[in-house]
Structure 1
Amino acid sequence: MSSREAEIILIRGADVLTMAAGEEIRPSRADVLIESGRITGLGADLAVPAGAEIVEAAGRLVMPGLVNAHLHSSEMFLRGRYERLPLEMWLCWSYPFFGLEPPDLELLRLRSLLVAMESLRSGVTMISDDFFDPPAHHLARLGTVFSAYDEAGIRANVSSGLMNRPYLDTLAYGREVFPARVQAQLDFPLTGADEYTTFCEAVFRTLHNSGDGRLRYMLAPSGPQRCTVELMQACRDLARQWQVPYHTHVLETRTQAVTADKLFGGSIVRYMHEHGLLNPNVLMAHAVWITDEDIALMADAGVSVSWNILANLKLGSGLAPVRRLLNAGINVALGTDGASSNDTLRLFDVLRAAALVSSATAKGPMAGLSSGEVLHAATLGGAQAAMLAETTGSLEVGKQADLIILDLSHGTAFTPLSDVVNQLVYCENGSSVESVMVDGCFVIRDGSFTRLDEAGILSEMRARMPAFLRQHQTTEAMNSFLIPLFQEVIARCDRVPVAAERYLPS
């Protein structure tokens, strides 16, 4: 679907923050010329081409759209439902083992539209959706997600995530703590590497590069402890063949660090290295419980990391060593994670938290991330992690026009106007976003969606949510007996020393 209202658009007289590599991270007064979706001119007082639509942007800030490097659309209907749970216990209800009834295709469409709408409204033009849809993989269901994102006009990498090892074999002390009858219940039939590869090849033939090239498929084996080597290597090979990310969760929690010691005799990162699973296609979500040796291997391989600070804080997972990652030359992006582990998809919230929390270190605030570093992670760093740095993430001639326009006079975020870059990170929450353009098309203009009936979609969703949540409450009850078992696993892991300590100061 394409809805360019004019082939040539000139955004005139704006303060433009390009975020281009090697340029100072400061806005300057400029015009932006867009032709057939691509930026063809950038500078002061550009000539107006014949037939151009002129967008007057005095008093506005034009900058690249933000890139959300890691989210799970599967959680979108569970926002605000849980608190004070570590990951392993939280998973029992947000990704239940028993009684799960996947949403029908219309609910799946509505859920995906809600992801796109919240993202776009808060200035995000590109998302990496680690879509997880157990118990099986269906082209029609994945195609519904692609279709919804096309309908909204957003840019997205979308996976069909998978784990294919018995769950209790992916968890330290799982076989010791869980009774035999429960173990038998949790040992579900699993998808093999050949079956998954066949499915992925079908996706690449039918859905990949749809939506005028905005929508791509990515490989997403859930985590090295959760997948067989054969599956991970098959995904690695497909990622290389199609030049898409290999998106995986790495060392999110302390329990996972203990699990790595028990399963692999040491680091998951070294395990990946030994099996040829580290390369520039790899996007690691979290990377909290990593060591200096891990960082060296990651830097040598050229991997990217999605720092999901708010989800890590809410689930008590710990703090990734982001300053050391950056000092090693590792590309860092920012992600919200899902709307059940974070509760919003507003990436501006993540920017502020990233800057603030990075300053709360043993070495003091001067070791924290600067506003420029945070903005880079949210734009060009995210684009690099998505393997789209040549397409999006900065405003440069030749790139696609993925940009946002902020009204600097809206509300109080920029009043008084002291330092735009600092205020973007510390003051803005997305409410100043006035217009959003993806691939040269306005998907939000002057505060209104151009492709979507926002009120109608929300009304339909609200009508269906009571029944959905009643069913989910029943599912929660069916899985509640697992909570104390996982609590015991975590308690045992907490008594085991690990190579990295990542807890917040008490």
Structure 2
Amino acid sequence: MDLVFSNCTVLTNDRENVVLTECDVRVNDGVITELGRSNSRNQPQRLVDARDLLIMPGLINSHTHSPENFSKGRAESMTLGPWLDQIWPALDVLEPRQIYIAALLGAAEMLHTGTISVVDHFRQTPMNLAAVHAVAEGYRDSGMRAVIAVMLRDIPQFKGQLLPSVTDQIGIVEQAHLNCDTLKCSKVRIALGPSAPTRCTEKLLISARDLALRHGLYLHTHIDETTTDAAEARKQYGKSSVQHLANLDLLTPFLSLAHGVWLNSEDFELLAAAGSTVVHNPVSNMRLGSGIAPLTALLEHGVSVALGSDGAASNDGQDMFEALKAAVLLQRVAGVEAKHWITAKEALPL
């Protein structure tokens, strides 16, 4: 369809933050073909008077967990550990049809609130290929762009827990990647999602790294969400989680790390040098009492930063405008001097 939005305001979100007023936007078959005062003599099939509307690029949700779309509003006054025990036992055993519906529910909310692309750190324990196919099909049918970071872990959460072998888990991710064309999921990419460095053996982390290199896949993991997480890393490795990942050659521009609430200045330097991205999840971190990520310090050190909602059970929604506002305002109660406060204009590109 040939569609023109006339007389609108366009927020380009480019490096110069150019704002176009009284602008026409022509769209042909879902692709913007003209921007500015239209000189075309061809009358569009549909003309929309958009003089009171703002058009801007869609937002990106860089960290969520789609099964949690079934668990909004639960476990309201719990920190991360008890919250995980309360929320995830039921969500870890969803049927493929339920997984498909959960993905669609989250996609519907995100699209309705301006988000067009998502990184889903997708969890099922134990992971299985049918579950990955189901979530991929959900995003395919929603029309969203999605990176499905298949969650991996081989260190048990509790005594007696049986988890698939490293070979089996890596095999699921590789097969899911190869099956995307068969499933006609052209807007969906498969990635590797180690749950967190402390939840994975070096063998699993290295295997994930090698598969990512072999197929050009992204890596996505949790990092230092709580003080407990940060302390556990130092207990296990004698160094931070970021330093451990650096020693395993996992810090690359293709790695993103969710939360990073308790990173230190040495971690900042390593992340900046590697080009890895920290995903700030301000609403989730507040809801679970995890802390306030050092957003201003990360940016000052040159670390790439993105924003995420986290799962709906730790956020109660998937609205990225809410995450944007929280990211801006939280730094103002975190001891950051007013002259260093991040503005809305600076936060929008994150």
**Aligned with 1:351 (options 307, 315, 324):** 324
> Which deviates the most, 260-269 or 106-115?
106-115
Tell me if structure 2 keeps the 8 A contact 1:71–1:335: yes
RMSD after superposition: 2.0
Matched letter for residue 47 of structure 1: S
The answer on 1:14 being equivalent to 2:8 is yes
2:101 and 2:221 map into 1 onto residues whose CA distance is 26
2:29 and 2:194 map into 1 onto residues whose CA distance is 36
Please report how far the alpha carbon of residue 259 of structure 1 lies from its aligned counterpart in structure 2 after TM superposition.
0.5
**Aligned with 2:61 (options 45, 68, 79):** 68
Tell me if structure 1 keeps the 8 A contact 2:59–2:117: yes
SS class of match (2:193): coil
1:9 and 1:48 map into 2 onto residues whose CA distance is 14
| Residues 49, 238 of structure 1: alpha-carbon distance in 2 compared, 3 angstrom cutoff | farther
2:20 and 2:125 map into 1 onto residues whose CA distance is 45
**Aligned with 2:231 (options 246, 253, 258):** 258
SS class of match (1:252): coil
Matched letter for residue 89 of structure 1: P
- 1:401-412 → structure 2 map (5 Å cutoff): none
SS class of match (2:48): strand
Matched letter for residue 161 of structure 2: F
Structure 2 partner of 1:115: 106
Q: After superposition, what is the alpha-carbon deviation per residue over 1:177-198, rounded to whole angstroms, capped at 9, x for unaligned? A: xxxxxx6xx2322223221222
The unaligned stretches of length 5 or more in structure 1 are 1-5, 168-182, 378-506
1:53 and 1:244 map into 2 onto residues whose CA distance is 40
TM-score if structure 2 supplies the norm length?
A: 0.93
2:172 and 2:308 map into 1 onto residues whose CA distance is 27
Please report how far the alpha carbon of residue 211 of structure 1 lies from its aligned counterpart in structure 2 after TM superposition.
5.2
**Aligned with 1:163 (options 136, 148, 153):** 153
| Residues 39, 242 of structure 1: alpha-carbon distance in 2 compared, 3 angstrom cutoff | farther
TM-score if structure 1 supplies the norm length?
A: 0.66
Tell me if structure 2 keeps the 8 A contact 1:208–1:215: no
- 1:97-496 → structure 2 map (5 Å cutoff): 102-138=93-129, 140-167=130-157, 186-207=159-180, 213-377=186-350
Please report how far the alpha carbon of residue 118 of structure 1 lies from its aligned counterpart in structure 2 after TM superposition.
0.9
1:143 and 1:45 map into 2 onto residues whose CA distance is 43
| Residues 25, 304 of structure 1: alpha-carbon distance in 2 compared, 3 angstrom cutoff | farther
Please report how far the alpha carbon of residue 11 of structure 1 lies from its aligned counterpart in structure 2 after TM superposition.
2.6
| Residues 211, 66 of structure 1: alpha-carbon distance in 2 compared, 3 angstrom cutoff | farther
Please report how far the alpha carbon of residue 250 of structure 1 lies from its aligned counterpart in structure 2 after TM superposition.
0.5
1:315 and 1:290 map into 2 onto residues whose CA distance is 18
The answer on 1:31 being equivalent to 2:21 is no
Tell me if structure 1 keeps the 8 A contact 2:126–2:164: no
Matched letter for residue 308 of structure 1: N
Tell me if structure 1 keeps the 8 A contact 2:92–2:125: no
1:212 and 1:87 map into 2 onto residues whose CA distance is 33
Give identity over the alignment, percent: 34
> Which deviates the most, 226-235 or 256-265?
226-235
1:90 and 1:368 map into 2 onto residues whose CA distance is 32
Tell me if structure 2 keeps the 8 A contact 1:240–1:281: no
Tell me if structure 2 keeps the 8 A contact 1:193–1:231: yes
Matched letter for residue 237 of structure 1: D
1:11 and 1:273 map into 2 onto residues whose CA distance is 48
1:189 and 1:202 map into 2 onto residues whose CA distance is 22
Provide the aligned length of Structure 1 versus Structure 2: 350
Greater relative contact order (Cα 8 A, min sep 6): structure 1 or 2? 1
Tell me if structure 2 keeps the 8 A contact 1:192–1:231: no
2:44 and 2:262 map into 1 onto residues whose CA distance is 55
Please report how far the alpha carbon of residue 148 of structure 1 lies from its aligned counterpart in structure 2 after TM superposition.
1.8
| Residues 267, 42 of structure 1: alpha-carbon distance in 2 compared, 3 angstrom cutoff | same
Structure 2 partner of 1:45: 38
The answer on 1:95 being equivalent to 2:88 is yes
| Residues 30, 205 of structure 1: alpha-carbon distance in 2 compared, 3 angstrom cutoff | same
Normalized per residue, the structure richer in strand is 2
Please report how far the alpha carbon of residue 159 of structure 1 lies from its aligned counterpart in structure 2 after TM superposition.
2.5
SS class of match (1:160): strand
1:241 and 1:101 map into 2 onto residues whose CA distance is 29
